[in-house]
Amino acid sequence: MHINDIGHNYFHNADFRVERPRGSDDYLFVLLKTPAVFTLEGREVFAEANSFVLFDKGTQQIYRANGIEFLNDWFHFDASHNEIECLRKLNIPFNRIVQLDGINELSMIIKYMCYENYSTNLHRADSTELYLKLFFNKLSEKLYCEKNGGNDSYHDKLSVIRSKIYNMPYHKWSVEKLSALASMSASRFEHVYKSIFGVSAISDVIQSRIEYSKNLLSTTDIPVIKIAEMCGYNSASHFIRQFRSRMNMTPVEYRGTTK
C-alpha cells in the first residue's frame, strides 16, 4: 500500500462540496471531524462527526458540508489485490458511513503519515506504508475489539478518569466533559463506565463530593454553605439534599458526630 495524496485537519467553508460521479482511480478514506452529508447509492445520508467512509476504487464520491464549516482528515491510496483482501479480512467496510466512539488515535496516525509523505526522509515511503498498515489495524480494533472484546480496552483510560473525579471533586464534571476526556460518545461512555465500575460516572462525582465534604466537616469549622461551594455545588440546598441522601443525616448533624 502507498499514499497518493493526504491531508490532516483540512478546513473548508460551509459551501464545501466534493463531486466525483465516477470516483477516483484509487481508494479514498475520509475521517470526519464535523458533520457532513454523503450521497450513497443515490440517496443523501447524514454523517455525524467521528465517522468515516472508505471509498472503493471507481466508486462515486459525492459529499458536502452540512451547513457549517467542514473539517476532516483524508488520504488517497493504492493497494494490491492481496492488500485489499487483508483489509476485508479485518472487516473494514467499504462505501458506507461508520460511526466511531473516538478518532483521536486514528487522526494522530494520519498526522504522522502526512508528515512522512511530504518529508525528505530517506525511508519516508517505507515509513508511510508501515503507518498505513498500522492505521487499518487500529481502525479494525476500534470497530471490533473495543466493542466485542469486552471493556478491557477501556479500563485503564477510565480508571485515570475516575481518579480525576476523586482527586478533583470540586470540578464541574459532566458526562459530556468526562466522555470527551475518554474520546467516546456520551452514551457509550456512560454504558462502559457503569459496566466497569458498577456505578454511573455521575454517581461517582456525587460520592467524591460527599467524601470531600465529610473530610472538611470533620476537620474544619468552615460553614456548610462554603463547604458546598468548595465541593463544586452551586447551592447549599443541593449539597444538603445529596448529603442527606447518601449519609441519612444533614452535614450539620454529621459534623456533630465527629466533634
CATH number at residue 158: 1.10.10.60
Dig out the grid coordinates for 151 from the structure: 471493556
162 and 128 fall within a common domain: no
139 and 195 fall within a common domain: no
pLDDT in tens, 10-48: 999 999 999 999 999 999 999 999 999 999 988 999 999
Mean pLDDT value of segment 177-194:
89
Q: What is the DSSP letter of 170?
A: T
111 and 173 fall within a common domain: no
3-state helix, strand, coil in the chain (%, to 5): 50, 20, 30
pLDDT in tens, 50-107: 999 999 999 999 999 998 999 999 999 999 999 999 898 888 999 999 988 778 889 9
207 and 243 fall within a common domain: yes
226 and 154 fall within a common domain: yes
pLDDT in tens, 203-228: 999 999 999 999 999 999 999 999 99
Average pLDDT, the chain: 91
- Strand pairing partners for 40? 43
Range of the structural domain that residue 180 is part of: 150-259
The answer, yes or no, to whether residue 184 has pLDDT greater than 90, is no
Question: What do you get for the CA distance between the two ends of the chain, in Å?
Answer: 71
C-alpha–C-alpha distance, residues 259 and 29, integer Å: 65
pLDDT in tens, 120-169: 999 999 999 999 999 999 999 888 765 544 555 677 788 889 999 999 99
Domain of 124: which CATH number? 2.60.120.280
pLDDT value at position 148?
A: 47
- pTM recorded for the entire structure: 0.59
From residue 14, alpha-carbon distances to 32, 64, 72, 99, 151 in Å are 14, 8, 13, 22, 38
From residue 178, alpha-carbon distances to 40, 57, 77, 151 in Å are 34, 39, 36, 17
